[in-house]
Structure 1
Amino acid sequence: MRGEILRLYKSVHTWTGIVTGMLLFVCFYAGALTIFAEPLAHWASPPAGGSISIEAADRLIEKTLAARPEAAKDFTLRLATANEPARLSWRKSRSDDVVWSATLGADGEARIERANVSGLGAFVDTIHRTAGLPLDRETGTTVMGVVSAVYAVALVSGLILVLPSLAKDFLALRFTGNLKRMWLDAHNLVGVASFPFHLVIALTAVVFGLHEPIYDALDHAVYDGRLPTIMRSTGPFAGVKRDEQKAPIKKVAELVAAVASASPNFSPASLHYRDAGTHGALVRVIGEDPRFLSRGGGFAVLRGATAEIVNVDYLPEKQSGWTAAVSPFFALHFGSYGGVPVRWAYFFLGLAGAFLFYSGNLLWIESRRRTARRHGEQVVQTTASRLMAAASIGVCLGCVCALSVAIVSTKWLYGHVEDVDAWRRGIYHAVFFGALAFALLRGAARAGAELAYAAALGALALPVTSVAAWAAPGLGPWAAVDPESAGVDIVAFGAALCFATLGRATARRAELGPTDSVWSARRPREASRGLRIPLSSNERAAAIGAGDGDVHG
C-alpha cells in the first residue's frame, strides 16, 4: 500500500481516536460493569424479605390499588425472584419524576414508599450510555451516538493501518526495553482480535444514540409528518379501543398461563398494566425466551379483564421478517445471551476496549517525542501535550474512581437519605471532576500514579465495606454473605491489586524514565545533576524503556 495512503489513514485513525477516546473509555469501562449490573445492585441493596409466590403479587396489587387508586391507570408489577419480593411501581402522571413503590410486608399489608428513580444498575447503565456527561439521558445518548459514528471510522482506519504487517505482527507482543513497542503491539493485538466485537458495538450504538434524530428526519423527508400515526397503527396496541366500564382484572397466574399457552418457553419477569379495573384494561407481559437472541427479551399483550391474547408478534418465538433479522444483531450489543461464559467474555472485552482508548492516547502523546528525536530536534513538551496527557489520566482514572465510590456510597447511604439516586449522581460527578482537576494541577506523571492508587483504594472499599458490615453491624451497611455478593467482593479485590500494580509501575516510570517525556516527574536539569538510583539491569530497562518513544507503564 502506498506510503501516502497509509499516512492518510494514520492521520484519520489518530485524530478520530483522540477526539473520541476519553469518552469511549468511560462508556466501555461502565459498559463492562453493566454486564454484572444485577450482582452489583444486589450487593448494594438492603436485603428484602417477603413471599415469592404469585399469589403474593395478587395481594400486592389489591392492597396497593385500595390505598392508591390513582395507580390503576398505569403501573408495573415486577415479579418476585429468589432475591427480591414482588414489587409494584408507578408515577402519579407521566410527567412526574417521582416514582412510587409498593411491596407486601410480613403483616400482609402494602408498604408504600417513594422509590429511587433508578437503581444502581440503571445508574451504571446511564454512565455507559452517556459517558457520564452532565446532560439529561436523551441528550447524552445522542451525543454518544455521534461519538460512536466517529469511533466506527477510527476502527476501520486502524484496521487498514495494520493490514500490511498483519501476518507478521498480529500475535507479536515484544516484551523488550522499548515500552513504546510493547504498548503498540498490545494495542494492535487487542484491536484486531476484538475488531468484530467493536464494529458491532459501534454500529448498534450509532442507532441507539441517533434513532430519534433519524426518525425525525424520516418523518419530515419521507412520511410528511405521518410517522407517529403509522407507528401507532402498526404497534402492539393497534386496533385496541379503550373501555372504561368497570371489570375486575384477572389474577397474575392466569395472565402468565395465557402467555405460556402461546410460547411455552417464555419466562415472564414483569407485567405492565394500563387502565386496570376496567373492561378495556391491557397487560403487557414482559420476559425472555432463552432459546432466542433478542434485545431485552420480548412481550405479549393481553386483555386484563379476560386474559385474552391481543398481540404475540413481539414474543421472540413469534417474531418474523425484519424484526427477526434485526433483533439478534442489536442483542449482540448487550451480551444477554449464552449464559455466564458470554457475560464474562463481554466483561473482559469491555475492559479490553477501555484499554484500547487509554493506550491509544498514550501512544499518540509519546509519538510526538519520538518524531522530534528522529529529526534531531530538541524535545519540548508543549502545554497542549501536557494538558492532553493530564486529561487522559484524569478522565480515565477519574471514571474508575468515581464509579467505585458511587457503588460503595450506595450501600452506606440507604436509610440515611431520601433520594439515594440524586446523592449517587452527585458523588460520581464530584469524584470524577475532582480527579480531572487533580490531574490537571499535578500533571500526568504524578497524577497517573496517585490516581491509580486512588482507584485501587476505591475498588478495595467494596470488600472492606462488606467485612466492616459483618464485623460491626451497627455501622449501618448490612452484611451480605451470598455467592453473588461474595463474587463482587472478590472481583473488586482483584481490581484493587491490578490498579495498585499500575500505580507502582507508573510511579517508577515517573521517577526513572526519560526526563524529556511528558510522563516524567523530573525536570531535565535534575537528570543532569547525576541522580543515581541503584537498579538491576531488568528494572532499568523496564523503567527507562531503552530510548525513543516509550510509553509509561
Structure 2
Amino acid sequence: MKDSFFRSMTWLHTWVGLLMCWLLFLIFFAGTISFFRHEISLWNQPAVHSIDNKPTDQKALISAGLDYLHEKAPEANRWWIGLPSPRQPEVHVSHRHSQPDGQRDKWIDERLDPNTLTQVDGIVDTRGGNFFYRLHFDLHYMDRKLARWLVCLASLFMLIALISGIVIHKRIFKDLFQFRPQKGVRAWLDAHNLSSVLALPFHLMITYTGLVTLIFMLFPGPANTLYEEGVKGFRSDFYPERQGIEKSEQTLNSPAFENAFAHFYHNWPEQKIKRVIVDYPTDLSATIKIYGDNGTLIRDEYPYWQYSGSTGELIKTARLDPSGGEVLYGGMIAVHSGRLAHPGLRWLYFICGIAGCVMIATGCIMWAKRIRERLKPNQSPSFGLKLVEALNLGTIMGLPLATAGFFYANRLLPAEVTGRADKEILAFFLIWLAATVTAGLWRSRRAWQRFAHLNAAVWLLLPICNALTTDGNLITYIMDGKWILASFDLTFLATAAVFYMQGNKLGAQPNTVKQGSVQNRRLGREQKA
C-alpha cells in the first residue's frame, strides 16, 4: 500500500489497467465489431445481396425448407432452418451428417431465396461476423476453457480499473468537457478521461454483464449445491432443448409436420418463429423443435416448443413464462450482446465500444510516454518499456489493419479454395503478426504515422475492391435502398479518413521531449494534490 488511499487507488488503477490492456483491447475491439456480426455475415456473402428483403409467409418458407431438406438430405441426423430477418434476407438451411470412427459430425450449409424458394448459387465458405463474436471470448487458436478463464480474468481487471478510476477522478464532470490537444501527456490523459467518462455507464454495464455470461464458470457453487450433476445438471434443466435424444433405429417414412405446426399456430397464432430444428427426421424418435423470435425483448434465449416427429404431439415447452431469475439472467446476457437492439441502438453500442477501445489505447500509450519522458538524455529504455511500446503499436494499429485484411481476403480468395473460411481468419492473424513484428523492430513516432497512413490506404481501397469483385457499389446500394451494404462502404471511408487525419497529426507534431517532461512533472504534482 502507498502512503494514502488516493495514491493506492492510483497505483491499483495503473497496474490492473496495464497488465491486461492488450488483451482487453482485443476483447473490446472484437466485441464492438460483433455488434454487427449478422451484417458482416451478410456482407461476406455477395450471392445473397440481390435478394429483396420483403415480408414473407413463414408457414410457406418452413414448408419449403422441410421439403428441400427431405429431398436433399434425408439421411441427415439433423435439419436446421433459419428464417429471414432484416439482417439476414435468405432462408438458411443446414443439415448435419454423422461421421465414421467417432469424428465430429459434418454440417453442410445452404441458402434459399425466400421469393423463389430456390437455392442461391455462389455461396462461399466464410465465418462472417461470427469470427469476431467468437474471437472476443474464445480468442481462437486456443483451448476454449483456458481462453474463457483469461477473458474472465481480464474482465475482472477491467472492472477494478473502472471502479478505481472513478475513485481517483476528483474532477470527473469537469474532465467531461476538457480536452487540450498539443499538450503532450496531458492531451493523452484528457483523451483517456473523455473516452472513459462519456461512455462510463456502457463500460460498467458491458464489463459486468460480460462476467455474468460466464458466471457459472466463475462461481459454480450454487449449481453444485442445487444439482447432483452440478453445472451440467443446471444446464440440462435450463436448456432442455440442448439435451440429446437416443435414436430408435426404426424408420419414419412420413414425419408429422402438419400436425405439429397446426397445433403450434392454433395455440400461439401471434408468435413469430426464429428457427426450426428437426432431430433424426427419418427415425421414429424424431423431434421437431420450434424456437420463437424475441424481437426487441430484453431476453437472451428464445421460447421453445418440442413436438414428437412421429405423432405431432407437444412434448415440452421452455421459457414461455420465464421466472424472475430467468428474466434477470437472460436479460443481462441480452443487454451484453445487444441482441435486443434496433439499428439505432446498435450504432450507439458500436460508438460506445469504440470509446472503450480509445480509453484502453490512450491508457497504454500514456503509460509508455510517461516512462520514456522520465528517462535521462543518456539513459537507454528498459526492455519492459520497449515491450510495452511494441505491443501498443502492434495491437492498436495492427488490429484494424488485420480486420481490413479479413475483408480483403473474403473478396479476393477464390470461392473453390479448400478451407476458405479458415484462410480468411489466417489472413487476419498473419497480418496482425506481421504488424506486431514490425512494431517490435520499429517503434518510433514515424512508425505510428506510417501505420496510420497504411490503415487509411487499405480502408479507403476496400469499397473499390468490393465494387470490382461484386455486382454492387456504394451508388447502387443507395439507389436500391440497400442501406446495410451502403453503410459498410461509408464506414470504410470514415475509418480511412480518421486514420488519414491521425497520420497527418502525428507527422505535424514535433517530438518535444523536454516540454513533455515539464508537463509530465506538472501532471504528477496535480495528481498528488
The TM-score with structure 2 as length reference comes to: 0.83
Q: How far apart in 1 are the matches of 2:166 and 2:108?
A: 50
**Shift of the alpha carbon at 1:155?**
1.2
Query: Mind listing any 5+ residue stretches in structure 1 that lack a counterpart?
Result: 474-478, 517-543
SS state of the match for residue 294, structure 1?
coil
Helix, strand or coil at the partner of 2:406: helix
1:325 to 328, 331, 348: 328
Cα shift at 1:30: 1.8
Tell me the residue number matched to 2:426. Answer: 426
Question: Which residue in the other structure is 1:128 paired with?
Answer: 136
Deviates more, 1:396-405 or 1:38-47: 38-47
In structure 1, give the amino acid aligned to 2:395: V
The residue aligned with 1:528 is none
Following the alignment from structure 1 to structure 2, what is the Cα–Cα distance between the partners of residues 55 and 24?
46
What SS is found at the alignment partner of 1:421? Answer: helix
CA spacing shift, 1:255–1:457, aligned 2, 3 Å: farther
Alignment of 1:414-493 (within 5 A): 414-469=414-469, 482-493=482-493
Secondary structure of 1:332's aligned partner? helix
Deviation at 1:123, TM superposition (A): 0.9
The residue correspondences of 1:192-271 to structure 2 (distance < 5 A) are: 192-209=197-214, 211-212=216-217, 214-215=219-220, 223=227, 225=229, 227-229=231-233, 231-232=235-236, 235-236=239-240, 244=248, 246=252, 248-251=254-257, 258-263=263-268, 265-271=270-276
- 2:74 corresponds, among 52, 69, 72, to 69
Task: Tell me what 1:403 maps to.
Answer: 403
Does the CA-based 8 Å contact 1:398-1:435 persist in structure 2?
Answer: yes
Give the Cα separation in 2 of the matches to 1:471 and 1:62. 31
Out of 96, 109, 119, the position equivalent to 2:104 is 96
Change in CA separation of 1:234 and 1:324 when aligned onto 2, cut-off 3 Å: closer
Tell me which residue corresponds to 1:12. Answer: 12
Letter in 1 for 2:392: S
CA deviation profile, 1:109-156 (whole Å, cap 9, x unmatched): 87999984x6211112122224x4531444323321221111111111
Cα shift at 1:449: 1.4
Go from structure 1 to structure 2 and tell me whether the alpha carbon gap of 1:108 and 1:187 turns closer, same or farther (over 3 Å shift): closer
2:382: which partner in 1?
A: 382
Please say if 1:145 is aligned against 2:152: yes
Check conservation: 2:180, 2:190, Cα contact below 8 A: no
Alignment of 1:301-316 (within 5 A): 301-315=306-320
CA distance in structure 2 between the aligned counterparts of 1:310 and 1:224, rounded to whole angstroms: 25
**Could you say if the C-alpha distance between residues 96 and 472 of structure 1 is closer, same or farther in structure 2, counting changes exceeding 3 Å?**
same
The amino acid of 1:143's aligned partner reads L
Q: Does 1:345 align with 2:348?
A: yes
**CA offset at residue 76 of structure 1?**
1.2
Alpha-carbon distance in structure 2 between the residues aligned to 1:120 and 1:239: 28
Equivalent pairs, count: 503
Q: Deviations over 1:496-529 (max 9, x none)?
A: 10011112222333xx21257xxxxxxxxxxxxx
The CA distance in 1 between the partners of 2:104 and 2:31, in whole Å, is 29
Partner of 2:527: none
Tell whether the 8 Å contact from 1:248 to 1:278 is kept in structure 2 after alignment.
no
Flag the 1:434–1:275 CA change in 2: closer, same or farther, 3 A: same
> Letter of the aligned partner of 2:365 in structure 1?
L
Corresponding residue SS for 1:101 = strand
Contact 1:142 1:210 in 2 (8 A): no
Tell me the equivalent position of 1:514: 512
Distance in 2 between residues matched to 1:499 and 1:471, nearest whole Å: 28
Change (3 A) 1:179 1:249: farther
Once the two structures are TM-superposed, the CA of residue 338 in structure 1 deviates from its matched residue by: 4.1
User: CA separation of 1:30/1:258 partners in 2, compared to 1, >3 Å: closer, same or farther?
Assistant: farther
Whether the 8 Å contact between 1:400 and 1:455 is mirrored in structure 2 is yes
Whichever residue aligns with residue 347 of structure 1, its letter is F
Query: Per-residue displacement from partner, 1:392-447 (whole Å, max 9, x unpaired)?
Result: 11012111111111022112225141322110111011001110001111114232
Deviation at 1:469, TM superposition (A): 3.4
Which residue of structure 2 aligns with residue 277 of structure 1?
Answer: 282
1:60 touches 1:88 (CA, 8 Å); kept in 2?
no
- What do the CA deviations read for 1:458-502 (whole angstroms, capped 9, x no partner)? 3223211123236899xxxxx966322111101110111001111
The counterpart of 1:182, out of the listed 177, 181, 187, is: 187
Query: CA 1:322 to 1:268, structure 2 compared with 1: closer, same or farther past 3 Å?
Result: same
Q: Give secondary structure in 2 for the equivalent of 1:75.
A: strand
CA distance in 2, matches of 1:426, 1:280: 41
Q: Is contact 1:76–1:89 with CA below 8 Å preserved after alignment?
A: yes
* 3-state SS of 2:91 partner: coil
Q: Distance in 1 between matches of 2:33 and 2:181?
A: 33
Q: CA RMSD in A?
A: 3.6
Identical amino acids, percent of aligned pairs? 19
Instruction: Name the CA shift for 1:492/1:449 in 2 (closer, same or farther; >3 Å).
Output: same
Q: Deviations over 1:337-381 (max 9, x none)?
A: 2412210110001100000110001111122345568xxx97753
